[in-house]
Structure formats: C-alpha cells, structure tokens
Amino acid sequence: MPEVKEKEQTQEQAAEQEAQQAPAPAKGGKVTSSLIMLELLSIALAFIVVNHVLKPRVPEWAKPENKPVEDLSKPGVIITVPDLVINPAGSQGTRYLSASIGIEVADEEAKHHVESRSIVVRDALIGILSAETVEQLSSPNERTYLRKLILQELNKLLKPIVVRNVYFIDYVLQ
C-alpha cells in the first residue's frame, strides 16, 4: 500500500504544481464592467453639465420679440414734444439745451395713446437728455446716438405702441 500512498502524494504534488502554474481566475471582468459603468456615468454627468449649466444663456434683449409687423410704406403720425429745456450733466446750471422733439407712430390711435402719456414721455426725454454732458450734446454723432436711445426708451415705456422714429425739430445748445 505504500505504493498507493506514494501515487496519491505524487498526484497531489502534480495537482499543486498545476494549480500554481495555471493562471488565477481573472478579476478583470468585474474591473472592466466597473470602468464601463464609470465612463457611462461621466458621459451622463458631462451631458447634464453642458446642457443645464454651461449652455449659453440668451439675454432678454437678444430674444426675438413677436412684434406685429407694421406697414412702413404708409406715412406715420408725428407728435411734437415742444420746449424741452435741459441743464446738461456737469454744467452746474451755466449751460442749457432747448429742444423740441418729434415722435413718429403708426396711426391716430397710437398718437392718442402717446398723448395721453405725454407727462411720462416728457419726463423720460428730460431724463435722457440731462444725463449727457455739453460735449456730448454738441457732437453731431451724439445726436444719432441720442435718437436711438430715445427710440429704445420710448418703445419700452409705451408698449404696445411702437415708436417708429424720433426727430429733433429744434436743438439749441447755449
């Protein structure tokens, strides 16, 4: 029987040697699936960050407005705001601007709406013009800027009425 024990020991030793030489069961399956899940999670997180955090926000002034399309081929109606007397910024009351301004709107209905708010319109015009310095008010290029500024402010103030254009009827800087 010693031969059987020797045979069994030899077989056990051979099995141990094979076990040592055989590669260990791969743990890569768990690691690989973990990496894939991590990658998918990072892609989802990147998508959320880009679409909800970094997505460029459109400022309110840049959004298109649904304004009614006006027929500009028809002449508008002009309302006159006469005799505005303004002390320019920084003049300490030694200089003044005397101006009359024309405001063009689409029709008589719009004209009546603007006339009903004439005090508000006058106040807005005085505020805009009195914020400018003598140098700014005397520059011809500045008048173009002032027209645009007045047009924008009046359109905000008089919504839903649309002011088509602004004209300087009298403009005297002393």
pLDDT at 171 over 80: yes
In the chain, % of residues over pLDDT 70: 71
pLDDT given at position 136 = 86
Q: Higher model confidence: residue 59 or residue 131?
A: 131
Q: What is the mean pLDDT of residues 71-96?
A: 85
Q: Which of 172, 119, 125, 174 is nearest to 146 (CA)?
A: 125
Q: Which residue has the tokens 């009546």?
A: 112
| Residue ranges per structural domain of the chain | 2-54, 77-173
Alpha-carbon distance 152 to 64, whole Å?
15
3-state secondary structure the chain: CHHHHHHHHHHHHHHHHHHHHCCCCCCHHHHHHHHHHHHHHHHHHHHHHHHHHHCCCCCHHHCCCCCCCCCCCCCCEEEEEEEEEECCECCCCCCCEEEEEEEEECCHHHHHHHHHCHHHHHHHHHHHHHCCEHHHHHCHHHHHHHHHHHHHHHHHHCCCCCEEEEEEEEEEEC
* pTM of the complete model beyond 0.85: no
Q: What is the mean pLDDT of residues 93-102?
A: 90
Q: What is the mean pLDDT of residues 136-158?
A: 89
Q: What is the mean pLDDT of residues 95-109?
A: 91
- pLDDT tens digits along 12-36: 666 666 656 655 555 556 778 888 8
CATH superfamily of 77-173: Band 7 domain (3.30.479.30)
Torsion of CA 130, 134, 136, 137, to 10 degrees: 70
Q: Which residue has the tokens 């990147």?
A: 46
